[in-house]
């Protein structure tokens, strides 16, 4: 007669985390709605652009630089430190995302675990609500077209962040992992999921530019192993 062995502690911990996912959660909607909103905002902003001057095109790389910098700062100083009034974000990130997905067990096991990978539902609306007054201010300081290009770039970055982060947590051997450059980015993020490294290293999720700038990009020495 077969004896059911108890699940190992890691499996029990992940099961407890997954049990907190709302019963009515719809993974496809959680992924599709922010993507659709981001794409619609991007298309609307680009559609309103009129007669862009060459100098105004600098709004695109400038916005990307700001986005990479904000991503690094928010990941380090909000998601891994208990900032005033934002402690719940740190709690969700460290006590759910990082405990469910460790450096040696990064892959989603079901679509429902998208709840543990994607930003909370409603984040896209919040991001857009925060960006609109910033874009209005940029329009006053610079130009209308520069502000619209910046808004479009910011929304493209938001959607890219969500999809890249999802790609890193897809099962090993996924066709997505054969996209050139993605394996290197995924490895950068996988190392961040080592509990010994997560509070100090590899905070950029998209492009590790500001990890390089701040000296927080960690990779093993050849003698340490991969």
- Digit-coded pLDDT (tens) for 9-57: 888 999 999 999 999 999 999 999 999 999 999 999 999 999 999 999 9
DSSP per position, 204-224: -SS-THHHHHHT------GGG
pLDDT category at 7 given cuts 50, 70, 90 is low
pLDDT in tens, 94-114: 999 999 999 999 999 999 999
How does the average pLDDT of the chain come out, rounded? 93
Q: Residue 4: its pLDDT value, please?
A: 52
| Residue 102 β-bridge partners | 105
Contact assessment for residue 142 and residue 157, using Cβ atoms and an 8 Å cutoff: no
Longest dimension (CA), the chain: 78
Could you tell me the pTM of the whole model?
A: 0.92
Q: Residue 221: its pLDDT value, please?
A: 72
């Amino acid at each position: 007669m077969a004896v059911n062995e108890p699940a190992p502690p890691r499996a029990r911990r992940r099961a407890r985390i997954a049990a907190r996912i709302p019963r009515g959660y719809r993974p496809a909607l959680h992924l599709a709605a922010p993507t659709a909103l981001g794409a619609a905002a991007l298309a609307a902003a680009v559609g309103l652009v009129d007669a862009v001057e060459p100098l105004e095109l600098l709004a695109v790389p400038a916005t990307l630089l700001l986005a990479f910098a904000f991503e690094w700062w928010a990941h380090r100083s909000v998601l891994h430190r208990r900032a005033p009034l934002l402690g719940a974000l740190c709690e969700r990130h460290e006590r759910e995302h990082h405990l469910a997905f460790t450096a040696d067990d990064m892959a989603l096991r079901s679509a429902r675990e998208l709840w543990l990978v994607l930003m909370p539902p409603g984040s896209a609306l919040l991001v857009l609500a925060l960006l609109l007054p910033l874009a209005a201010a940029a329009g006053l300081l610079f130009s209308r077209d520069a502000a619209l290009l910046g808004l479009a770039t910011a929304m493209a970055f938001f959607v890219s962040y969500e999809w890249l982060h999802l790609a890193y947590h897809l099962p090993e051997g996924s066709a997505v992992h054969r996209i050139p450059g993605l394996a290197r980015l995924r490895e950068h993020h996988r190392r961040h999921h080592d509990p010994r490294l997560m509070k100090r290293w590899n905070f950029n999720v998209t492009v590790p530019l500001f990890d390089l700038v701040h000296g927080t990009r960690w990779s093993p020495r050849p003698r340490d192993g991969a």
